[in-house]
A = this chain, B = another copy of it.
Amino acid sequence: MSTRIFPTAQDVENAFYESLERNDLALMMAVWAEDEDIVCVHPAGPRLAGQEQVREGWRKIFASGQRLRFQIAQQVRVAGVMLAAHSLHEIITVVGEKQPRPAVIATNVYLRSAAGWRMIVHHASPAPATAAADPAPETPKILH
């Protein structure tokens, strides 16, 4: 398991989307807490829980070889001492396609561990097509 340190929850989030753009499974798994109770829900998918299921889910996604670009919109953040939660829209473009796919709504939860911040929950679901067509204000809003 990687020893990469993320000083803030936002650093984890940046690395999470970087790993998705790079199809980098090692970086993806370095983003997650080393905890059996991590939870990951891909759009329209079942809930994956624990290191093994979460890794296998990402392995399958990365194996497709599809190159994706992520734009993050309408981010709302709430941060505590031990936990942080981010809500956002993922605007995903497949490399080679002109139009972005319909937006994905994501809730990301981060946990501060001895090894810095890590992801502990990723819950993604497709936004209805009308919501995706709605232009998003790009300014992040910070709650606390």
Contacts and interface: CB of A to CB of B under 8 A. Distances in A.
Contact of A121 (B35, B85, B120, B126): B85
A128 interface: yes
A98 to B, nearest CB: 24
Contact of A125 (B78, B82, B123, B128): B123
A82 B85 contact: no
A84 B82 CA distance: 9
B123 A105 contact: yes
A127 B46 contact: yes
Given A80-B80, A83-B82, A128 B37 contact: no
A1 interface: no
**Chain A facing B: main interface SS:** strand
A41 B88 CA distance: 11
A143 to B, nearest CB: 5
Interface in A74-93: 74, 76, 78-85, 87, 89
B83 A80 contact: yes
A94 interface: no
B47 A123 contact: no
27 contacts: A35-B143, A37-B141, A41-B105, A41-B107, A46-B127, A46-B128, A46-B131, A47-B89, A47-B127, A47-B131, A49-B74, A49-B87, A78-B120, A78-B121, A79-B83, A80-B81, A80-B82, A80-B112, A82-B82, A83-B85, A85-B109, A85-B120, A87-B121, A107-B107, A107-B109, A107-B123, A125-B125
